[in-house]
Structure 1
Amino acid sequence: MRSDIVPVLELGAYAAHIPYHMTWAHEQLPYTPEHERFLELECISDILEHLL
């Protein structure tokens, strides 16, 4: 998970993440948080089922 998602969740916002095979080490956290406002998607079109 990218480190920039955690502050978004802490502010009370929703966050979606689409993993990419190359990510800088400093952008990664060693865990994926379980959070009701966090989605991990395979592709951007997957977000439609969560918005509609």
Structure 2
Amino acid sequence: MAESYSGEAYCVKCKEKREFTGEVKVSDSGRRMAQGICPVCGTKLNRILGKA
């Protein structure tokens, strides 16, 4: 079961912070990253979270 995340991230295309919901993924180095989609323009949003 994938962990979900709800919060805000900076959209590079809109140049504003946007509220989004998405999945939490863990990289090889142990960093957690939330990935979702901008509700306005549809661009992929990423937010770096703390270590797992």
The TM-score, its normalising length taken from structure 2, stands at 0.22
Higher helix share: 1
TM-score of the aligned structures, taking structure 1 as reference length: 0.22
Structure ranking higher on relative contact order (CA contacts 8 Å, 6+ apart)? 1
